[in-house]
Structure 1
Amino acid sequence: MLSGWREATAGRPWRISAKLLIVSSVVTVIGFSAICVNVMLDMRRGEKALARQTLENLATSIDADISRNIDIYDLSLKAVASNMLLPEINTVSKSIRQLILFDHATTAKHFGAIQVFDADGNLTIDASTLDPVPQNRGSEDYFTVHRDNPGAAGLFISRPMLFRGAYSIVLSRRINDTDGGFMGVVAGSIRFSYFHELFERLSLDPEDTITVLRSDRTIMMRRPFDLDIIGTNLNDRRAWKADNLRVGASYSGEGPVDSTPRLYARSGDSGRLFVVAGKPLTAVFALWQREALRIGAVVLVLALFVLGSAILLAREMARRAEAENKLEEMATTDALTGLKNRRKFDQVIDGEWRRAMRQKAPVALLMIDADHFKAYNDTFGHQAGDQVLVGIAICISDSVRRAGDCAARYGGEEFAVLLPNISATDAFKIAETIRGKVQGWSDDQATSTVSCGIASLVPAAGMDWSILVAAADKALYAAKAGGRNQSVVASLPKLSLAA
């Protein structure tokens, strides 16, 4: 079987190589493409990480600026709440009281004037005037949160609201008496103009967003500015999860305000306000997309070039293989009969002999010779003789059909048929079939008959296939000596002959 496979594949080595060339080219292209895809994905992750770090730094710097200003303003509120407990505060003149309670920090740009409300919410002191206009703020959340929560302390930042004629966020603190009782509220404001000016100083793209939120996720300010969004609480958005903006995390996708996919990064948790910076994903990956398209185009061109070159080379190799197969066939085929020639027969019998020796299987050989061929050739000429040889070859080919069988013109008017893995009895039947077909085909039975010698044995170590040829040849001579037009089987190993 192994030698048969070698025989089957020996005639098309270039065809196999062409297939391997194409397969290896495809594997190479796929490998390089996979490497390029992996590199591009790494670049994409790098672009995202860089954008996230940039957004985190931006959000942190904005948060620091806002926190610093709130702290400055809160110090003024604390001073007012503390100084309201001084016994002399109600005995001095209004102008002196203003100097005691209020510092210059509260007069800074974008800061609203500090106001003091009594326990009923009535305005008693206003940093902007000595004689404030009477008003009551007892219903505002920045007042009620301190009045209704005696245990609450610290700074309260209200929702965005219209305060003293300008949109602002109100900062307030509770004023307690010496016994901890509620005396009123001190409140001030930071106008929206502060945030607008802060955001304008930044170099941002039109689609970039900056959102300032209170600790309960209420939107205090947003860029781009939209008054309808200011004051909205994100906890009310069912499609938005609180974990999307947790501390130290980023989020990619649609935000809670609009449907534009963005990369969002949050500043640290300061306890009062925090900042979220967002950038459209199209802008984050714009450079990466250009590089990906450029590299992808180059890889595609190279892949097409490699595959095209491999296909062209494979076609040339296939043509060469076909030409070599034809040359090999011509070199191993008898030109007259179309059977294998002596050279090819010797190669085949050598391989089959080795295979049969390994597998301990029999090998049979038929030696066939045309009867009275020399006399026929001398009488009717060489062309008529050639026609006889072609007819005998046709009869042999028609009788030998197995893939492993080998029919060859052994020399002159002599033919050989190698029959692997077959007994002498079966080989004798095939020989008789061939002899009968030749006899039936011929119009002149006296001149167009054949004699057959048959030999079959199982090769053993130390034996050579020439033994099989010699045995079949002796059987052929025995057939001719016995009157021709008959088949004789050689008796092995003593080589005695049996008709």
Structure 2
Amino acid sequence: MVTAGVVIALMMVAICAVVLYQSRVDATERATDGLRNIAAMAEHDIERNFELYALSLQAAVDGVNDHEVMAASGRLRNIALFDRAATASYLGSMLVLDANGNIVFDAAGEVPRVANFADREYFRVHQQRSNVGLYVGHPYASRLRNGSLSIPLSRRISHTDGSFAGVVLLAIQLDYFRQLFSTLSLGNHGAMVLMQQDGTLIMRRPYDEKVIGRNVSNASTFKEHRQKVEGSFTDVSVIDGVRRLYYFKNLRNLPLTIIVAEAYSDIYAAWWQRTVTIAGVMLALAAAFIGLSFAFGLQLRCRMRAESKLAMLAQTDGLTGLHNRRTLGEILNQEWRRARRTRSMFSLLFVDIDWFKVYNDTYGHQAGDATLAAVAKCIGDNIRRPLDHAARYGGEEFIVVLPDTSPDGAIAMAENIRVAIADLGIEHSGSEFGRVTASIGAATWTPEQDSDVSAVVRVADQALYTAKATGRNKVELSMVQVG
């Protein structure tokens, strides 16, 4: 019962563990879907704005190459070149640079500011390569806006012969990306990164100005997202050491990658709280179930022991511990039928303590009970075969059932019992022998005889009477007669 209870409780705990594990998997999948949606939202916003900026750059290139635009007044020329781009949110500067890197047209006003950008990375790229198209450069600190961090978008201006004529520049303030990232929910320890495909960081949430422009191409997170267009992976950030679930997406039309990450501590926060509660309740229930199984098993065992004890008490004599008269009847019928079926000999001993009434009158009933118990033990100790049985017939009389026993075997058994009783040395002043003794009558039935078991009992009783009549403390054998 206890084993079954433990097994059932373990099965309950195992089922609970499987359900909780599946709940954990579901939490991971929900987090992945959420990160995918956030990356898609950021991608849509960035690509939409960059598309508008790219159109403004192309319009400026076309305007520079249009003689009518160039021949117009400064105000009209700026309107045609910059298409009011300077008024866009988070736009830093929009400039037209000549082949030497000097500002020739400035969206900020009709009179261009004085500065040279020939040393900038984007300028050198366009100067050296004619087929770059829209170029997204590395972050830099603006010289025109007191070091404000920006990212350049630029296009090449070429002469009619294809030679380098300058660059159209549009600077996007990094605060645009910072503000965009801040509107997206990523938990308390989430992170979001926009980087160029060479590993240069453009923006990161949590924001840290020190990491802007940093190259992380050697990081394992960078190696993961370079293998396919989009996907998810798990890693520990090289920046803050937090283990996160990452989802990356390489933008389709820009050389940029968005990486959105949520810390596992945030993903599993609700799951852990739910797991602790459910697991605690389940373990308590399992422990209670095992405890109840143990208690029930203990009660069942006690009941079985009580029933066994009652059954034994119903079958045995309370004073001597031998079979009682009721059980003796069952044994006699069972062994008699077996003897008749197998055609084997059947012997019976009738044991009676000599002058026992006198002993009780002399020494008292308590001493008499002790003597009965001692004699019964002698009888029981001399019965060694599993099929042999001894029972208290009544008062000071005992019967020994000896299946498959010959007359000689019955005599030998009876003599052993008689001697053992005498050797107890129990004082009996009312006996001519000075000690407690017993007379024994033996009877044997053979297969050739046609009798019932009651006849065997009567013959053994007659043999006992003969033993008492001829001197006591002796064994008498009688054969069952055919009748």
- TM-score interval, normalised by the smaller of the two chains: 0.7 to 0.9
Partner of 2:210, secondary structure, is coil
CA distance in 1, matches of 2:178, 2:302: 77
1:141 match:
121
Match of 2:440 among 441, 444, 450: 450
Distance 2:345 2:264 in 1: 80
Q: Is the 8 A contact 2:231 2:249 kept in 1?
A: no
Partner of 2:399 in structure 1?
A: 415
Which residue identity lines up with residue 392 of structure 1 in the other structure? V
Q: Which residue of 1 aligns with 2:15?
A: 35
Structure 2 gap segments, 5+ residues each: 427-432
Query: Which of 90, 94, 112 is equivalent to 1:110?
Result: 90
Q: How does 1:307-318 map to 2 (within 5 A)?
A: 307-318=290-301
Q: Is the 8 A contact 1:438 1:449 kept in 2?
A: no
Q: Deviations over 1:359-393 (max 9, x none)?
A: x999996622226x5x6346555758766653432
The unaligned stretches of length 5 or more in structure 1 are: 1-19, 458-465
Cα distance in 2 for partners of 1:323, 1:305 equals 26
Shift of 1:328: 2.5
Stretch of structure 1 that moved more, 128-137 or 74-83: 128-137
- State which drifts further: 209-218 or 403-412: 403-412
Counterpart for residue 176 of structure 1: 158
Q: Which residue in 1 is equivalent to 2:430?
A: none
What does 1:151-300 align with in structure 2 at a 5 Å threshold?
152-163=131-142, 164-165=144-145, 166-202=148-184, 205-237=187-219, 241-243=223-225, 247-267=229-249, 269-270=251-252, 271-300=254-283
Larger Rg: 2
Task: Give the count of matched residue pairs.
Answer: 458
Render the CA deviation track for 1:44-101: whole Å, top value 9, x for unaligned. Answer: 3333332332222122112211111111101111222334333556555544443332
Q: Deviations over 1:376-435 (max 9, x none)?
A: 346555758766653432122223457776443355623225679x99999887666445
- With 377-386 and 91-100 compared, the bigger mean Cα shift is at 377-386
Shift of 1:155: 1.9
Q: Once the 2 structures are TM-superposed, how far is the Cα of residue 234 of structure 1 from its aligned partner?
A: 2.7
1:185-237 CA distance string (max 9 Å, x none): 32211102212332344456553322212233322101221011112233222
Alignment of 1:390-429 (within 5 A): 390-400=373-383, 406-410=389-393, 413-417=397-401
Structure 2 vs 1, CA of residues 112 and 239 (structure 1 numbering), >3 Å: closer, same or farther? Answer: closer
Q: Does the C-alpha gap of structure 1 residues 103 and 364 become closer, same or farther in structure 2, counting only changes over 3 Å?
A: farther
Pair 1:222–1:364, CA change in 2 (3 A): farther
| Corresponding residue of 1:49 | 29
C-alpha contact 2:5 2:290 (8 A) present in aligned 1? yes
Shift of 1:333: 1.3
Residue in 2 that maps onto 1:461: none
Moved more, 440-449 or 233-242: 440-449
- What is the distance in 2 between the residues matched to 1:78 and 1:172? 9
Aligned match of 2:39 = 59
Identity of aligned residues (%): 31
Pair 1:471–1:404, CA change in 2 (3 A)? closer
Question: Are the counterparts in 2 of residues 342 and 411 from structure 1 also a CA contact under 8 Å?
Answer: yes
Matches of 1:213 and 1:79, distance apart in 2? 27
Determine if contact 2:174/2:202 at 8 Å carries over to the other structure. Answer: no
Normalised to the residue count of structure 2, the TM-score between the two structures is 0.76
Task: Report the secondary structure of 1:234's partner residue.
Answer: coil
Would you say the 8 A contact 2:92–2:170 is kept in 1?
Answer: yes
SS at the partner of 1:338? coil
Distance 1:477 1:118 in 2: 147
Question: Structure 1 residue 376 and structure 2 residue 355: aligned?
Answer: yes
Give the aligned partner of residue 5 of structure 1. none
Give matches, 1:435-474, under 5 Å.
435-441=418-424, 444=433, 447-452=437-442
Look up the match of 2:56. Answer: 76
Aligned CA RMSD, in angstroms, stands at 4.4
> Residue 348 of structure 2 is aligned with which of 350, 354, 367?
367
Q: Quick one: structure 1 residues 65 and 345, their matched pair in 2 at CA, closer, same or farther if it must change by over 3 Å?
A: farther
The amino acid across from 2:281 in the alignment is V
* CA distance in 2 between partners of 1:261 and 1:245 (Å): 21
